[in-house]
A and B are shown apart, each in its own frame.
Chain A
Amino acid sequence: MTNATLLLATWLAPLVAIPLALRATGRWWVPVAALPALATALLVPVGTGVDWTWLLLGARFGLSAYDPIFLAFGAVLWLVAGWYAAVHLGADAQAARFRVFFLLAMSGNFGLIVGQDLVSFYLGFSVMGLAAYGLVVHEGDALVRRAGRIYLLMTLIGEVALFCGLAFLYLRVGSLVPAPATLAGAGGWELSLLSLGFGIKAGLIGLHVWLPLAHPAAPIAASAVLSGAMIKAALVGWLRYLPLGQQAMPDLGVGLIAAGVVTALSAVVLGVGQRDPKVVLAYSSIGKMGTLVAGLGVAAIDPEIAPAIILALSFYAAHHGLAKGALFLGVGVVKASASRWPLWLLMLPALVLIGVPLTSGALAKGQFKTAVLQAPSAWADVVVWALPLIAVGTTLLMGRFIYLMSRLAGSSADPPRPTLALALPWLGLIALGLGLAFLYAGASGFVSTDLRPLLIGALLTGLLALRCPAWLAGWIGRVPPGDLVVLLESAGQRLSARLSDFAAGVREWFRNRIANRRPAGIGRLFTLTSKAETALAEHALSGAAWLTLAGIALVLLVLP
């Protein structure tokens, strides 16, 4: 197959699979649809670009820089998650709907990676974002619908911000396919809007509120791709559209470092108190994205070391994607299985994520740290200083996760499923995650790992598991998933209650003072506008006459 065919099939195959996957018998098309993407990642050389000038506003599909890494681990995740979904989901209409949204989101995710022009990227980004809504609300109960609403609101805000940022970018560089060298010279608005759009997707602190609700709300297969693959779209976007290595962006860099470090640390604090293992994993994803964003900030400050950092970030993203995918799928397998062996196996990806020696986690962290250490700026030191803390935190989070899982093993209320068929993709993913380290180390060799944070973390976890002080135990369950959003919601409710009290007061006053026979319900925006509307409609004839008279008067006024 030619490169062009492969690139086309990458995002088209999931779409073509949609009609096939409508029936339960076609459910195996879901994982199969991810294969062309994998083939593209492995076979199409970097630098390939195929132009379809008639598509969209003139599309180019191809692979540049680190795209194959993102495409490869993304395809693997979609493949195994699709497999899991094919086994796990039933044959009802809801399952068919799930497969449709799953394939749409898959197409969007692949499309944004191979879509090299701004519009294809944006198309993939928004298709993925919106289709994922269908995955989040799949279970359909009230809690899930709330998660869906918050997810959708934040996603839409992110998309319009991205739209505006890309508009600035396009007009500045004058091309839909900006070459990296032409990106230099970005202004504050452009960078802020792009970072807002991607920051929401990445779950930066403050913008993250949707993530701990949405990622766990979705069925297991969807959580795996949401936290493993889709969240990385933010990084793809940042790497592609920030003028990294072209321009020093100290303000943006400091902002990203601060946001990233705060995100990484607060995710630990907020995450360890959770009771749902999937929520713990979601907070862990937020934390990891925070670490990546901090690295991005270092690259933004210092263009010299940007290439080394970008390479480290890409590898880190791949490592995290595979490990996090395995952890999420593991939740499902452990719940469904009556025996204990899946729980023991689940510790493997947890250890990988923590970064124990000889794993991809250790490699990713080592490489990341080495790159950041090269940076001369004092802000890079903040990251270096924070890394051990983050490592301790990750260990704690994973300890908490395994502890929660040990209580859930075999608890699934669903009818029993073929555990082995369910576990096979998961086992494959774990194996690949472990193998990744050796694959990669074959080229660069293992670096020595700083074991102290891990040991401290393990020690802390052990101590807490044995004897948890009362003040700390009180923390558990204190922070609801989505933290800030709950505050915002209750503040919003209080505000609206106040407002309606106020409106009621005004109404009361109005009724007593002026019009004692006024119907209730005045004081709302809608009512006001409706009244204006009715007035306009009712007095159409007189209004028309007025309009005519006004026109004639105007003419007479101006005519000499």
Chain B
Amino acid sequence: MDMEASLPALIVLSSLVPGLAIFFLREQSHRLRTLLNLSGALLKFALVAFMIWGVFHERVFETRWTLAPGLDLVLHADALSVLFVTLSTVLWLVTTVYAIGYLEDSPHRSRFFGFFSLCVTATVGVALAGNLLTFVIFYEFLTLATYPLVAHRGTPDAIRGARIYLAYTMAGGVLLLIGAVWLRALAGPLEFAQGGILGDIDGLDPTALTVIFFLLIAGLGVKAALVPLHGWLPQAMVAPAPVSALLHAVAVVKAGAFGIVRVVYDVYGVEFAAVLGLLPGLGLAAAVTIIYGSVKALSQDHLKKRLAYSTVSQVSYIALGAAILGPLATVGGVVHLVHQGLMKITLFFAAGNYAETLGIHRVSEMDGVAQRMPATTLAFTIGALGMIGIPPVAGFVSKWYLGVGAVQAGAAAWVLPVLVASSLLNAAYFLPILYRAWFKLPSASWQHRHPATGRQESPGALMWPPVVTGALALAAGLFAAAPYSPLEWAELIAAREYRQ
């Protein structure tokens, strides 16, 4: 097998094989597990780096198994998949380090890291899927691989959260499957293609296409946490911090958003979707979700819950970008796939550090926390400012492209108010946290539990991941116009999605 045909499969296998091997390790074999985890993550990193280089030089990477005539499993690397694969690979590496530090000495580590690797395998599969069938398979695989991670702690709360998660995502999966099968029956093999495929096929019934679009988006919208399908996400925050981080930034929520982008651009084609009149509905759902998530976040005192509702809101920027016809808005939506991931994973890492190091779970307990944990809090601050959309953090770039994209598409009248309201709401629920952390005197609650003076950061394995991802979020905005930046990739993708 030559490199072109095997690379996508190798990238998927680079986490699948270590993941399966980890299941068979004894609980005590800490070193071997860490070795497997990190070598898998590093190998994937190297493979993806090679793939980026290749795609940039217009090499075509595709793995194809024919299951039955007309029924192919395809892993294919185009610009969009490379963007998502790179995001998940980089963040998986960081999260693995974090998880090793976080789960030090806790039970069931082999089970945890096994499913952890499977979860990333599924995400990478979702990213590289070359047709809708492959996408659906990995998408369902992701649901199953994540369930044990959410339930990991085994407490009644965790079990309940995981059950709710499963119920929602399975139902969403059913809708997605119905939509995909129906569309397959109408339009033949649904190989993703830039600019879409349905526009080129004659004789399709617009009503059927509309209903299928609704089914697909509803199915994907469960994972992407579109209101009112978001109910599972705030419940799933019972998961351990590294899981929440991965769940919110790369894996589950992002897979849903990525799916929406795929369906809009590479199945329907955004121009054809506009002709069918599908975009306003999607835009409305995204706008409602953006505002609703932010309003809910305002009233949460539990830090992880506030972050969870913030995810509900922020991920819909991606759907919003897809719902606005025009290359600039496309850039804004697609680049937010990466930007939201970097910023949100930073926030969840930091939240995990507060919980692990000082036992802080609530916003109201965060007074003066910056004095004790300056590095973590600095990372948290960068993430939070980015979410509000303050330059030079990456979130500003997304917001700028969505804003100018809206003006370009003549949609400024409803998109700009949504962006403005979202920015102000984000400020309203993030800035008070920053004020507490940096300006208030250390709170009695955690001072009492952890009496110490001066700095007392989390251990390195916990402290460095948020610092690294925070720096990446900053760099993605500060050097947005640099070669190989997420923005440049998003522009490359957008340029290929429009035919006129």
What is the interface of chain A, defined by CB distance below 8 A to chain B? 53-59, 93, 97, 119, 122-123, 126-127, 130, 137, 140, 152, 156-157, 160, 163-164, 167-168, 170-171, 189, 525-526, 529-530, 533, 536-537, 540-541, 543-545, 547-548, 551-552, 554-555, 558
Q: Is the CB of B175 within 8 A of A547?
A: yes
Residues from chain B with Cβ under 8 Å of A545 in the complex? 171
Given known contacts A57-B400, A170-B404, A551-B174, A164 and B391 CB-to-CB distance under 8 angstroms = no
Tell me whether B412 and A54 are in contact (CB under 8 A): no
Assess A130 versus B439: contact at CB under 8 Å? Given A57-B481, A551-B178, A555-B211: no
- Shortest distance in angstroms between A51's beta carbon and chain B's nearest beta carbon? 10
**Given A56-B391, A536-B231: A167 in contact with B171 (beta carbons within 8 A):** no
Complex contacts, B299 vs chain A, CB 8 Å: 526, 529-530
Complex contact A529–B296 (CB within 8 A): yes
Interface centre among B167, B208, B215, B389 (most CB of A within 10 A): B167
The answer to whether A167 and B404 touch (CB under 8 A), given A156-B427, A529-B295, A536-B231, is yes
Known: A164-B420, A189-B412, A526-B298. 10 other contacts (CB 8 A): A54-B482, A55-B479, A56-B478, A56-B480, A93-B371, A163-B419, A163-B420, A533-B231, A537-B232, A540-B163
Is the beta-carbon distance between B403 and A163 smaller than 8 angstroms? yes
Complex CA–CA separation, A123 to B396 (angstroms): 10
Picked from B167, B416, B419, the residue with its CB within 8 Å of the CB of A544 is B167
Are A140 and B439 closer than 8 Å at their CB atoms?
yes
Q: Does B218 contact A (CB under 8 A)?
A: yes
17 A-B pairs in the complex with CB atoms less than 8 angstroms apart: A56-B479, A57-B400, A57-B487, A137-B439, A152-B427, A163-B389, A163-B399, A167-B403, A167-B412, A529-B292, A536-B228, A537-B232, A540-B163, A543-B171, A544-B167, A551-B175, A554-B211
Asked if B182 lies at the interface with its beta carbon under 8 angstroms from chain A, I say yes
Q: Is there contact, CB below 8 Å, between A548 and B391?
A: no
- Checking B207, B400, B427 against A167 with a beta-carbon cut-off of 8 angstroms, the contacting residue is B400
Is A54 a contact of B479 with CB atoms below 8 Å?
Answer: yes
B431 beta carbon closer than 8 Å to chain A: yes
> B397's closest neighbor in chain A, by CB?
A57
* Chain A contacts for B438, CB-based, 8 A: 97
- Asked whether A555 and B182 contact (CB < 8 A) given A164-B416, A544-B168, the answer is yes
Is B420 in contact with A548, judged by CB distance below 8 angstroms? no
Q: Which of B171, B182, B390, B478 contacts A55 (CB 8 A)?
A: B478
Expressed in whole angstroms, the Cα–Cα distance for A409 and B412 within the complex equals 55
Could you tell me if A160 and B400 are in contact, using CB atoms closer than 8 angstroms?
no
Given A126-B390, A529-B296, A552-B178, are A547 and B480 neighbors across the interface (CB < 8 Å)? no
Total residue contacts A-B, CB cutoff 8 A: 131
Cβ–Cβ < 8 Å partners of B419 in chain A? 160, 163-164
Please name all residues of chain B whose beta carbon is closer than 8 Å to the beta carbon of A551 when the two chains form the complex. Answer: 174-175, 178, 215, 218
Min CB distance, B265 to chain A, in Å? 22
Query: Which of B215, B229, B427 counts the most A-chain CB atoms under 10 A from its CB?
Result: B427
Contacts known (A164-B403, A551-B218); A56 close to B371, Cβ less than 8 A: no
User: Is B34 an interface position by the 8 A CB rule?
Assistant: no
- Which A residues are in CB contact (< 8 Å) with B175? 547-548, 551
Verify A540–B231 contact, CB threshold 8 A: yes
Is B424 interfacial (CB-CB < 8 Å)?
yes
The chain B residue with its CB closest to the CB of A558 is B211
Across the interface, B218 reaches (CB within 8 A) one of A119, A530, A537, A547, namely A547
Assess the B481–A55 pair: CB atoms within 8 A: yes
B340 to chain A, nearest CB (A): 18
Chain A residue with the shortest CB-CB distance to B388: A156
Q: In whole Å, how far is A527's beta carbon from the nearest beta carbon of chain B?
A: 9
CA distance A127 to B477 in the complex (A): 14
Contact at B178–A130, with CB atoms within 8 Å?
A: no
Selected contact of B167 from candidates A163, A526, A540, CB within 8 Å: A540
Q: How far is the CB of A282 from chain B (nearest CB, A)?
A: 23
Q: Which of B207, B298, B478 has the most CB of A within 10 A?
A: B478
From A56, A122, A130, A525, B481 is in contact (CB under 8 Å) with A56
Q: Is the CB of A54 within 8 A of B481?
A: yes
Interchain CB contact under 8 A, B164 and A540: yes
Q: Which residues of A contact B480 (CB under 8 A)?
A: 56-57
The 3 closest A-B pairs by CB, nearest first: A544-B171, A536-B231, A54-B482
Set of chain B residues within 8 Å of A137, measured between Cβ atoms: 439
- CA A97 – CA B208 in complex, angstroms? 61
Give the distance in Å from the alpha carbon of A210 to the alpha carbon of B436 in the complex: 22
The answer to whether A171 touches B407 (Cβ under 8 A) is yes
